[in-house]
A and B are shown apart, each in its own frame.
Chain A
Amino acid sequence: MLNVDKQGRILHPRIALAIRPHIERSQLHKVRGIIVHQTGGATAASSLSSYLQPRANGAHFLIDKDGKIYQTASVNKQTWHVGSLRARCVAEFRCTPAELRVLSRFSPKAENRMELRKQVPARYPTNMDSIGIELVGAAITSKGSDPAEKGVFEVVTVAQNQSLGWLVNELRLTLGVPITEVFRHPVVSRKNPTEAASAQW
């Protein structure tokens, strides 16, 4: 179990505090899930720097390529890291006829609205009820001049996966999150499928 202070900071020698208030939003009342991301940028420094900008978006934790863990936001606060939701019933083969009617029109916005009317575990966790963990990792293109749309995320390092496994386990025990509510970002939202594809916990 992790020692969490009243400000939502985790006091542990494996976690460096680098709280960035600009990425913190409203109160996070109950954590129901954990979402694993890759940053898209090549260094921890670039993410930590970007989180200093007014109204920046980010996630609660950042794991560098050498496995160093930074806490970048209070676990008592929401951060915006998820985006629009996919319909969870599709992946779990349990959509109702009404849900299938919405999905048949293929509107990501309508799909997100439908999901936000549900609660976990009927839907995937959102910004409102999840912790986000970022793994430093760039989206690489085969030619340097190619635009970002052609990017494929680089492989997560062994050190990152070791830290991720430890952090996910400790957060789950501390915050009461079932292992079934820990997801890679592209599972819950329409994202580049290679993001965090090699992450393990």
Chain B
Amino acid sequence: MVRSIVAFLMLSISAAGSSDGGSSHRGSSTVRLPPIANITIKENAARAPAATGSDETCTRFVLTKRDVLEFLSHADGIPEHDYYHMLDWSPCYASGEIRFKNGQTATWGIHRYRGGSIKFSDGRVRYLSCPKCGAKAFSSSQ
């Protein structure tokens, strides 16, 4: 249950990886999210506006609230450059809103290749990657 979320979700940035650059991100720092009051899902199996020309179908990319919470709990925080250039991009995404216990709000997005973002109401953006997240919707693409 989303209400039972622990005091702070820790999104830690992982150490650098292999030289082929497949999924390598720079080393450690930590992003803290405030305690979450509620998560809502606004879109599932959605197709990105940029997806012209892609024939990838998105109907199977459906996340539950539990999947979203797992992603936010275990994702690594990554720099903007790495989000756009190191992660695979998928046209398939889910998105929604987060309300924090401190009253702050944000929108979240997660795409099929385990990348995501949180945009806070003050304009700040955090980019995320969760290679270890195991939701069924992710594995359907691998």
Q: Measuring CB to CB, which residues of chain A are less than 8 angstroms from any residue of chain B?
A: 22, 25-26, 37-41, 46-47, 50, 53-59, 78, 80-84, 106-109, 112, 116, 126-128, 139, 142, 144-153, 185-186, 189-195
Contact = CB atoms under 8 A, between A and B. Distances in A.
Nearest to A26: B19
A61 to B, nearest CB: 14
The dominant DSSP class at the A interface is loop
Interface string B42-65: 000000111111100000000000
Contacts of A39: 80-81, 84
Q: How large is the interface on B (under 10, 10 to 19, 20 to 34, 35 or more residues)?
A: 35 or more
Contacts of A40: 80-81, 83-85
15 contacts: A46-B80, A56-B81, A57-B26, A82-B21, A84-B88, A127-B20, A128-B19, A145-B121, A147-B107, A148-B83, A148-B117, A148-B125, A153-B50, A191-B89, A194-B50
B21 A80 contact: yes
A115 to B, nearest CB: 10
Given A56-B26, A80-B21, A147-B119, A191 B84 contact: yes
B84 A195 contact: yes
Contacts of A190: 88-90, 113
Given A57-B25, A139-B84, A190-B89, A145 B50 contact: no
Contacts of B118: 147
Contacts of B85: 37, 40, 57, 59, 80-83, 185, 191
B51 A80 contact: no
B108 interface: yes
A127 B17 CA distance: 13
Nearest to B84: A40
A53 B13 CA distance: 13
